[in-house]
Amino acid sequence: MKVTIRKLRISDAADLRECINDKEIVRRLDDEDIKYPFTLADAKKYIKKSLKDKDSHEFAVLCDGEFAGTVVLENPAVGKKTYELGYVVCKKHQGKGVASKAVKLMIDYGFKKMKINKIWAGVLSNNPASMKVLEKCGFRPEGRLKKHTYKNNRYYDDVIYGLIRR
């Protein structure tokens, strides 16, 4: 299995819609722009917004050439040396190491190409699989924001992970 990343493009909209239009995936995301159902129009709007944002470095994740999700470095802190990591992997590619490989590729991109110092990620407390991915990639927990995110009529803690360039 070969995992690669490439810049997200508008032609990925149908694949992105198919990937994200899943209640279980949306339930674990803390992105306000992604709701269920996720339509083709939503996917196009999401990609256009991402492409327009000069501080967003979003990539399609490919598994053996097939669209398998997205990975992004975005929301830089002051000075643009710390970025937030986000990722989503389509259900059919979950549990196969795709997320870990994509995150490692993005870490490499951030530290080597962008020359940033730190990457952080916030994970909803209902997503232990994502926490495992981050820990496998070298991230360490840095804190927990209690009942920080309100989604699906309930509150979730946000667990904050960080990785500093060595």
Q: Mind listing the pLDDT tens digit of every residue in the chain (166 residues)?
A: 999 999 999 999 999 999 999 888 877 776 666 777 899 999 999 999 999 999 999 999 999 999 999 999 999 999 999 999 999 999 999 999 999 999 999 999 999 999 999 999 999 998 999 999 999 999 999 999 999 998 878 999 999 999 999 8
pTM for this entry:
0.93
Q: Could you give the domains of the chain?
A: 3-164 (3.40.630.30)
Q: Omega into 141 within 30° of 0, i.e. cis?
A: no
The kind and range of the H/E element at 68 are strand 66-74
What is the pLDDT, as a whole number, of residue 153? 87
Using an 8 Å Cβ cutoff, are 94 and 59 in contact? no
60 to 70, 92, 140, 153, 158: CA distances (angstroms)? 5, 15, 25, 31, 25
